[in-house]
Amino acid sequence: VDVAKLGDDGDLYRAGMTSHASVQLMLGLEEAFDIEFPEDLLTPDTFSSISAIAKALDGLGVGVAS
């Protein structure tokens, strides 16, 4: 999938993201924003799209531009 054509609500898993890549993404976000995802957010749904990730970050008090 062409990343430039993937919208904020596009399914990242359907676009080719693996479960291993989602863990790497989570770790990168934790490091970048100095946060820790609580256990209840460690689900595939949390990392399924850019919008879902932004919503999770917002819930953790990290303001991200949409």
pTM of the model: 0.88
**What is the distance between the alpha carbons of residues 48 and 6, in angstroms, rounded to a whole number?**
12
Give the burial class of 37: count Cβ atoms within 10 A of its Cβ; 0-12 exposed, 13-18 middle, 19 or more buried.
middle
Q: How far is CA 51 from the centre of its chain?
A: 8
Q: Which residues have a Cβ under 8 Å from the Cβ of 55 and sit 6 or more positions away? A: none
Determine the pLDDT at residue 12: 96
Determine the pLDDT at residue 5: 87
Question: Mean pLDDT per segment of 10 residues, for the chain of length 66 residues?
Answer: 87 94 96 96 96 95 73
Determine the pLDDT at residue 65: 56
Cβ of 49: how many Cβ atoms within 10 Å? 20
